[in-house]
Amino acid sequence: MALFVILSHGTTEIMTVSGGNIAHAQTIPHGVGDITNIITSSKTYYLNPEIFSKNTPELAEQRSILAAHISDGLEKVVIDYQQIPVICAGGGSLIPKLIANTSSDVKSVNVQSPHNDPDLL
């Protein structure tokens, strides 16, 4: 059993998968566009790592707000499915420190990124 968090531009999908079947799914109407829409008009700007190399207070605040939305969604799922790994994927998982902010908000989960980049965690 695993819990997947797919961070897209406009939404974040949370799915619990067990035995190859989706046991739970929900969509959060917040995605990385919440951050990039404030910084730029480009919808794919979050794929440019240089934008996040300048850790401005505005960027840190927006990242924390998005992490809080994701954490709220995860907490609702984790009540039913404790101690399962959370795997973050999608272009939004490339945003430095977003996964770290999310995992620090939800203490009972082990959040992982398939990118294996310590800067992302």
pLDDT score of 30? 92
Q: Tell me how far apart the alpha carbons of residues 43 and 95 are, in angstroms, rounded to a whole number.
A: 14
The first and second tokens of residue 32, run together, are 């990385």
Candidates 1.10.10.10, 3.40.50.2300, 3.30.420.40, 3.40.50.720; CATH matching 2-112: 3.30.420.40
List per-block mean pLDDT (blocks of 10 residues) for the chain, which spans 121 residues: 87 90 92 79 64 75 86 77 77 77 64 55 45
pLDDT score of 63? 83
Do 43 and 92 touch, CB atoms closer than 8 A?
no
Indicate the domain borders of the chain. 2-112
pTM: 0.76
Strands lying side by side in the sheet with 12-18: 21-28, 12-18, 2-7, 85-89, 110-112
